[in-house]
Amino acid sequence: MDFTFTAQQDELAKRVAEFAADRIAPHRQEQDRSGTYRPDLIADLAAAGLFALRIPGEYGGLGLDAVSAGIALERLAAADLSVCFPVLNAALIGGVLADNGTPEQRAAWLPAIARGEAVVALALTEPDHGTDAAGIRMAARPDGDGWVLTGEKTSIMIAAHATHALVFARTGGEGARGISAFYVALDDTRVRRERLTDLGCKAGGRGRLVLDGLRVGPGELVGEPGGGFTAVMRGFGVSRALIALMAIAVGDAALEEAYTHATRRTAFGQPLGRFQSVTFPLVEHTTLLHAARLVAYEALCRADRGEDPRIPSNMAKWWAPKAAVEATHQALLTMGHLGWSEDGPVAQRLRDVIGLQLADGTAAATKMTVARLVLGKEYAP
């Protein structure tokens, strides 16, 4: 087994880390307090090529593999988790469009995503259907050669910032095979947005999208009617591993702050790091995050080789956010009142990373996926 990155991937990691240190990290707490992205953030992310990571080269993208996307998102999340979501969505939705769109759709949509001109949201979750995504009720009523979409999507990350959304609605009968995907612009008067108030990632603009009779034509249907749910679930095989790496980066950043504190702060005549009760818990969390990181990269490697990434991806998705929350909590305790203070470097990270235990599938949902893949659906929950 080879655990090293390529020279190109090492260069990508260096470039994104430098960009994040210069253009992202200095604004983390300011954006958290204001509850929104600074005006030039999207342009900065676009100029750094971060929306283009997974877009094929013929459509203005970088055409990078899944491992490279993970490397970039790790460095970005270490600086500020909340800015990762438009980048993550560009990778996930860009992949769905590249795999399922017609040549005309790909040519019309993908270059704008790569350039950051189209900021995309994934509109799947509904008020009564989160984990039970195959049960969504948003109606897509046939209308001539198109459809009229009516209903509500909620808990949509970057809903406040997005220009477009991949919207899932029911065009057929019950279950997953009755769901279709539509790529729609959100500047229509029949689309209403409402920002939600969150514990963390406040700048990310999570919100509700209410569609009140939005008409879409055949050119906005992605793939075949009834194929939308399957398309996005395939994308989750990569995105769940990417989210795991985002969580790990937050936990690692918090632990780094705690290690630094343990070398600088003294008690009873010696550095805190000399006390086992301080250092050993940090080492334990560092170990768990390191192991979770390997599982996440295994999933991405499998995806890049054309293999099924779902078992390690879902393993990483339930484990890494939990490990990151616990590591960040331990960092806060290590730093005492400095960790507890919102003026310190850790409290916001703890609030932010908790949300990744919900994003793109809860622990229960991802464990169920692993159980069904290992046991078979007839023997699993």
Element (H, E) at 165: strand 164-170
Question: What is the per-residue pLDDT for 260?
Answer: 98
pLDDT, the chain, mean: 97
pLDDT digits (tens, 9 = 90+) for 295-332: 999 999 999 999 999 999 999 999 999 999 999 999 99
Residue 1 has pLDDT above 80, yes or no: no
What does the alpha-carbon distance between residue 63 and residue 82 come to, in Å, rounded to a whole number?
24
Cα 121 from chain centroid (whole Å): 11
Average pLDDT of the residues in 27-38: 97
- Give the list of residues 6+ apart from residue 11 with CB closer than 8 angstroms, or none: none
DSSP 371: H
Q: State pLDDT tens for residues 236-266.
A: 999 999 999 999 999 999 999 999 999 999 9
Instruction: Look at residue 200 and give its three-state secondary structure.
Output: coil
* Measured distance CA(375)–CA(218) in Å, rounded: 40
pLDDT in tens, 159-205: 999 999 999 999 999 988 999 999 999 999 999 999 999 999 999 99
In one-letter notation, the amino acid at residue 123 is A
CA dihedral (59, 62, 65, 69) positive or negative: negative
pTM assigned to the model: 0.97
How many Å apart are CA 42 and CA 152, to the nearest integer? Answer: 26
pLDDT reading at 70 higher than 90: yes
pLDDT at 8: 98
What pLDDT shows up at residue 329?
A: 98
| Beta bridge mates, 192 | 210
Are the CB atoms for 66 and 237 separated by under 8 Å?
no
